[in-house]
Copies of this chain bind each other. A is one copy, B any other.
Amino acid sequence: MKLDHIAIVVRDLEQAASVYSKKLGVPLKSRHRIDAEGVEVAVMELDNAHIELVKPLDKASGVASFLEKRGEGLHHICLEVDNIEALIRYLGASGIKLIDDKPRTGYKGNKAVFVHPSSTNGVLIEFYEKDM
């Protein structure tokens, strides 16, 4: 199993992307607005994974609520799997609680599910079906 990305919630995407690229040396790869999730994302490129800086677009998203309660910081990790339906069956049999009843579709068209942090020691984990 492979790590796809680490997501960090931020208040100001310009400022955060500038810190990570110019001050830490992690290059900016791309930027996306994902209206379905109510977020804007800056993808920062590490050699073996990505850091996604995520800014809420409104107050309705889960990310906005996280930002209000906990402030900026680490939000979730995303692991890549071959087959999301097989994974959902495996997690169900393991007694792992999912946030999603069925896979959601990411901005690149890939299927993804989120695991509830209560099942995984306080960590929000996204599983993401890799490109075919």
Q: Which A residues fall within an 8 A CB radius of B?
A: 1-3, 6, 8-11, 16, 19-20, 22-26, 46-49, 53, 71-74, 76-77, 79, 90-91, 94-96, 115, 117, 119-123, 125
Contacts and interface: CB of A to CB of B under 8 A. Distances in A.
B1 A3 contact: no
Copies of the polypeptide in the assembly: 2
B73 A117 contact: yes
10 contacts: A1-B26, A2-B48, A10-B121, A19-B120, A19-B121, A22-B94, A25-B90, A73-B74, A74-B74, A74-B122
A104 B119 CA distance: 34
A21 to B, nearest CB: 11
A123 B6 CA distance: 11
Contacts of A8: 121-123
A11 B122 CA distance: 11
B95 A23 contact: yes
A6 B115 CA distance: 17
Contact of A71 (B1, B22, B71, B122): B122
Contacts of A6: 3, 6, 77
